[in-house]
Structure 1
Amino acid sequence: MATRDADVELRHDEPNLARLNLVLAPNRTDLYEWTKQLTLDALGGIHITCTAPRNSLVPHGVDNDILLGLVNAAVLQGLPEDDTVRVTSRELLRLSGITPSARAYEKLRESLRRLQYTAYDVIDSWYDGSKHRWRTMSFSLIVKHSAEDNTADVTNLGQWRAQTVLAIKLDDGVIKNIRAGHILPLNFELLAQLTQPLTRNLFRTLSFQRQGGGQPVLAYSVPLGVWASHLGMQEMRPDTVMRALQPAHVELKATGFLRDVTYQGRGKSRVVHYTFGQVDATAPDPEAAALLARYGVSGGRTLLLAQSHGLQAVKRAVGVLEALLRTEYRTKIRNKAGILTDILEQPHKYDTLLTQAEGRQSSTPAARHSAAQPPSDADAPVAVRDTAAAHIILMGTYDQPTERREIRDRVSALYVGGRVTTLDLIGLLGKSTAEAQAVVAQWTA
């Protein structure tokens, strides 16, 4: 399934991958296994053992970018039920921020093999977002992958190219967490400016420390020795680690992600202190995502729409959909999820449709039924202006406390009496009690 251009502007990360840093940051390594046991934050210790197969190396460098590309492909494709991402080589490189080339396709092949055949043992450090607890897990990031050429060109048989179609099954623990909404937003515009795998790795890891705990923080401090081990620079001297990190720090400061980087102390007691720039990327609102899922929007798509549009826009779109479902236009709605997505992307189009649909229905006999006298034929058009319709469109946002319930009852009466429109009613979604009271006062003046 191809990804849409508009969707590529939004990037996401699975928080465990960002926090645990399962791929070594350096571009080169000679390691076939590693172990780290350390503490980075208040969430607890990290204990991981990584083992590559014989005659192979552990994932490192650009493998981190490929892994991020796979996570985003899964989200953009709606989190396929079989946990399998289907993309061309070119699409995956593009999602990974890598310029396609013959060499890049070969490197992609090598990267996927490392991610598939390397085993990880994570002890009490993997957060299960669906059950909200820490787990011990043994897994490979990729369960299996296959490649198929869909061209008639038989030259260089077996060599990957732009059109090579890949089917890559990800570990179900990663996909399950994303389905549960355990996801970290990333600023794609900023990410695209970063030129080196080490810088992008540092960006992902620091992004978690910046906002992975919920509320964004202004700064983060960590012992340099612990930081070096976490990034995969275990054997380096402190001054060598500082020199290796300097270009990445310069680049992250140039983009505005970091405001400053300072060091305190000497030798093994040295601490690196990061001060972050202004907060930008925002997490998807869980209530907005839940609303979209209720109407059949797929898991990955709910996260994208919730993040890009926000809760109030989603509530408004649901209100418009519910109003349309109570008009004759409902016979044209075959796919609620598709219509809801379209309402979010083209709200003015559906405002017009709703106004027209209500205008037509007001002249039908069914529309003159009151809430106390519903149509006897279950297939007859549903009356728009009844109390039940008003309550549905207000989505329970005015049911509690007493002051808001009084507003709901007054507005419902105005709605049934034809003194306010459905769009007026929808406009109350997201307003505070005082704002809503002021609006209702204007309507009754």
Structure 2
Amino acid sequence: MNPREDNRKYHDGRDEMNLADFPISALQRQQPSDADGRKRDRLEFEATRYDPVTHQRVLQRVTLTSSSRDGLPTPADEHVILALLYVAKHSHNFADATVYFAPSQMFDVMGWAPNGRSYTRLRDVLRRLKSLTIRYENAWWDAAGRGYEEEVATGVISAYKIARQVSGPRTANTTPLSWATWTQQFHQSLLNGNIKRLDLDLFFRLKTPTAQRMYRFLDKRFYNTDSVAMDLIEFACGHVGLTESDNVAILKRRLAPAVAELEEIGFLARLDPAERYQKVKAGVWRVLFRRGTPPPPPSTARGEGARQPPAAREGLTPL
């Protein structure tokens, strides 16, 4: 049995809303590479959103760029961000842009083995996150201004230090020697309350990056509704990160194990394929998700209270 099933000490996690909406990594666990075997340094995700002013759908694009030496983030990079958000929330409630941590603390949150391999893995993730630039076009929600920014280029980590690994327990009442500093734009989003609760125990129990990505996106979209319906390609490729955008059959097949896993834990209601996937016209399909009935969470509170009144939250526009 997974130890997380009996230990829910990390259920009270946090997710930044822009990161919940669009991926900032490739779905595969290994570094994506081009036809020549070189690490890829660019990745794009596209979707649309409803503009209540023009009453039309507006293109959203998120572009990831990095150095070919460091490569693009993998799902492990997003795990590290979620672990840092957990530490930041429970250390100083995001008041400081710098998050102090011990590598062993991060490993415990993510369920990584406390060994040298995990230390090297964490170091490599921090290198990639430091190198990463994310360009949001009509896709970055400004919680303070209550609107989408036309274009924002930012990152997540502006600087970091990972202390040399040492053996033995850490001395009590001392500040961890490792730290990571959020970029100004990302930290401001946290201060503006553009965050939501995320059950990290449940998240890290999910077996595949696809299921984890779907859980984060749909958990956000289920905030004020019990069902989410949208264009299949936009969901699978724009918000989850699959790449077979020209083959609906492959998209359905690749989503199937993740859908089944989320149904199994009660996060999603079970639907027949004919109800889940609905053909609109040639080449255009919609996908439907209904909220399931999982076991009751430790707290019924969904957001950060006064920090994020519903009217200020992003993403609460028609799909």
Letter in 2 for 1:26: Q
What does the per-residue CA deviation read over 1:232-266, in whole Å, with 9 as the maximum and x for residues that have no partner?
A: 22245322222222221111111110112521227
**Aligned partner (choices 188, 199, 208) of residue 187 of structure 1:** 199
Distance in 2 (alpha carbons) for counterparts of 1:171 and 1:234: 29
Distance in 2 (alpha carbons) for counterparts of 1:101 and 1:198: 27
Q: Find out whether 1:219 has 2:219 as its counterpart.
A: no
Q: How far 1:40 sits from its partner (Å)?
A: 5.3
Deviates more, 1:92-101 or 1:196-205: 92-101
More helix by share: 1
* Structure whose alpha-carbon radius of gyration is higher: 1
**Aligned partner (choices 133, 136, 146) of residue 161 of structure 2:** 146
Letter in 2 for 1:149: R
Distance in 2 (alpha carbons) for counterparts of 1:189 and 1:41: 33
Q: How far 1:89 sits from its partner (Å)?
A: 1.2
The gaps in structure 2 that reach 5 residues or longer are 1-6, 34-39, 53-57, 169-175, 309-319
Q: Which has the higher contact order (CA 8 A, sep 6+)?
A: 2
TM-score, reference length from structure 2: 0.75
**Aligned partner (choices 240, 248, 272) of residue 238 of structure 1:** 248
Q: Is the 8 A contact 1:61 1:198 kept in 2?
A: no
Q: Is the 8 A contact 1:51 1:58 kept in 2?
A: yes
**Aligned partner (choices 25, 38, 58) of residue 47 of structure 2:** 38
Q: How far 1:75 sits from its partner (Å)?
A: 1.1
SS in 1 for 2:206: coil
Q: Which residue of 2 aligns with 1:14?
A: 16
Runs of 4 or more, structure 1, over 6 Å off, are none
Q: Is the 8 A contact 1:19 1:205 kept in 2?
A: yes
Distance in 2 (alpha carbons) for counterparts of 1:191 and 1:36: 22
Q: How far 1:81 sits from its partner (Å)?
A: 4.7
Q: How far 1:77 sits from its partner (Å)?
A: 1.4
Q: Aligned pair in 2 of structure 1 residues 193, 150: CA closer, same or farther (>3 Å)?
A: closer
1:279-298 alignment, distance < 5 Å: 282-284=301-303, 286-287=305-306
Number of equivalenced pairs: 272
**Aligned partner (choices 278, 287, 293) of residue 264 of structure 1:** 278
More strand by share: 2
SS in 1 for 2:290: strand
Q: Which residue of 1 aligns with 2:126?
A: 112
What does the per-residue CA deviation read over 1:134-178, in whole Å, with 9 as the maximum and x for residues that have no partner?
A: 22321121101111137379xxxxxxxxxx842111122222222
CA-based RMSD: 2.9
Q: How far 1:53 sits from its partner (Å)?
A: 0.7
Q: Aligned pair in 2 of structure 1 residues 140, 235: CA closer, same or farther (>3 Å)?
A: same
Q: Is the 8 A contact 1:48 1:121 kept in 2?
A: yes
Q: Aligned pair in 2 of structure 1 residues 26, 40: CA closer, same or farther (>3 Å)?
A: farther
TM-score, reference length from structure 1: 0.55
Q: How far 1:80 sits from its partner (Å)?
A: 5.4
Q: Is the 8 A contact 2:70 2:131 kept in 1?
A: no
Distance in 1 (alpha carbons) for counterparts of 2:120 and 2:141: 33
What does the per-residue CA deviation read over 1:321-360, in whole Å, with 9 as the maximum and x for residues that have no partner?
A: xxxxxxxxxxxxxxxxxxxxxxxxxxxxxxxxxxxxxxxx
